[in-house]
Structure 1
Amino acid sequence: MCETLLQNDDVVQLRRLLRGIPSDWVYADSRTVSDCKSHQSILKSTARLALDDGNFTLLFQIIEENHFDYEHHSLLQQIWYQAHYAQATRRRGRQLTAVDKYRLRRRYPLPATIWDGEETVYCFKQKVREVLKQCYEQNKYPNPSEKYVLARHTGLTFTQVC
């Protein structure tokens, strides 16, 4: 239910739903909760609401103290950076430039709880870059079927491989 409300960006309904869940269960350790997937969705939803409320302390606490499955990383990474951008905007009293945002991303790297730890260079993870380099060394001009296989193997789209 939380996932659907998050995808639809229905903050009002999400807030109403989370009010009905006991707070001691929401803040319980993920490893002791029987349904870990639901617990992670609830924590992710709580973090999203904390961002809307400007409760950055709670948001950072949720993200830093709970390990999340890979499927949750993308949204939580966005929330992490949006929170730091909002804090800086409030502190400086002006909109952030692209350089400001870059500096904030460098100053506040993603915690290990929402990041696999693999460096990204030019929008590609290091392992993917190595696979692409090896393929290029073997065949500098792959045909479309080889590109499709490479895309499937690396998790990239066909366009990214081309």
Structure 2
Amino acid sequence: MQAYATAAGSAARIHTIPATTSYSEQEVSCICESLFNEGLQTGRTEQLTHFLWTLPDHLKCLESALKAHALVLFSQQQWKQLYRLLETHKFSPHNHQVLQDLWLRAHYTEAEKTKERELGAVCKYRIRKKNPFPSTIWDGEETNYCFKSKSRNVLRDAYKKQAYPSVEEKKRLAAQTELTVTQVSNWFKNKRQRERAAGTLEKSSAKSESDDGSSGCDSKPNLSLETPFADMQAFGYTGAAAAYFPPPMTYDPSLFNLQNL
């Protein structure tokens, strides 16, 4: 804990750090994670940029430093360098989501600047198809409507047997697919609506669509290029540092008094 307190004090004095200052790998990871999350919240990466610049080469190769570097490249709109960094370094699964969002937002922003107009849903779809996630930030399993293929297959098989599952069946499916009961309810509701529109669901089997508080929305919020990249909190990033730490690293982010940077 003392090491983290030392790192916290160091983070508060980043603007005075000489290039020769040495840190342990643990301290560097702590500072990078804290400044990374601050950058997501505020959209400002100046302190993070300066801190990375002071690091010796062997510490710049730490995963937390590479992830922080990706955010800096994004904020500087250095697209080619960002893509190269993400494509050539293998990242841990717990970092995949945030880096996938950076990858997509970078491609969307780059395309918008080239076309000089906002992108529609079709354009974004084409960009995603043309620029799939590299294996370094993706487990290779397709995700559709935020559900992985294996989860969707389980739901499809269950639907063939019963289009109106009971509450207990929904709970069982939720546990099996690692989804929430509401997500399962919404999936069945939407599936029934699509089949009814196509005329494939018998009218005699129609029931009330008031499923367990379902909202009728399964998907994540759309990436928005109209707002600063710091608004990535909209995708589930609350700025809590623990969300992006390697499992062995645990510390209290409140130790870092970054407001005084």
Q: What CA distance in whole angstroms lies between the structure 2 residues aligned with 1:152 and 1:6?
A: 33
What per-residue deviation string (whole Å, max 9, x for no partner) do you get for residues 64-103 of structure 1? 0011111111111111111112221222222222222221
User: Does the aligned pair in 1 maintain the 2:33–2:64 contact within 8 Å?
Assistant: yes
Give the corresponding residue for 1:16: 50
Q: Provide structure 2 residue ranges, at least 5 long, that are not aligned to the other structure.
A: 1-29, 186-261
Q: In the TM superposition, what is the alpha-carbon distance from 1:151 to its structure 2 partner? A: 1.6
**Given the alignment of the two structures, is residue 43 of structure 1 paired with residue 73 of structure 2, yes or no?**
no
What per-residue deviation string (whole Å, max 9, x for no partner) do you get for residues 13-69 of structure 1? 32233233223542x4xxxxxxxxxx2222111101101011112211111001111
**Given the alignment of the two structures, is residue 71 of structure 1 paired with residue 101 of structure 2, yes or no?**
no
Give the corresponding residue for 1:104: 127
Q: Provide structure 1 residue ranges, at least 5 long, that are not aligned to the other structure.
A: 29-38
Give the corresponding residue for 1:7: 37
The two structures, once aligned, show a CA RMSD in angstroms of 2.2
Higher alpha-carbon Rg = 2
Q: Percent identity?
A: 40
Q: What CA distance in whole angstroms lies between the structure 2 residues aligned with 1:140 and 1:89?
A: 42
After superposition, the Cα gap between the structure-2 partners of 1:23 and 1:55, relative to the gap in structure 1 and judged at 3 Å, is: farther
Q: Which has the higher contact order (CA 8 A, sep 6+)?
A: 2
Q: What CA distance in whole angstroms lies between the structure 1 residues aligned with 2:57 and 2:76?
A: 17
Q: TM-score with structure 2 length normalisation?
A: 0.52
Q: TM-score with structure 1 length normalisation?
A: 0.79
Q: What CA distance in whole angstroms lies between the structure 1 residues aligned with 2:116 and 2:58?
A: 36
**Given the alignment of the two structures, is residue 129 of structure 1 paired with residue 163 of structure 2, yes or no?**
no
1:129-148, aligned counterparts within 5 Å? 129-137=152-160, 140-148=163-171
Q: What CA distance in whole angstroms lies between the structure 2 residues aligned with 1:157 and 1:16?
A: 42
Q: What CA distance in whole angstroms lies between the structure 1 residues aligned with 2:147 and 2:182?
A: 13
Give the corresponding residue for 2:78: 55
Letter in 1 for 2:115: R
Give the corresponding residue for 1:36: none
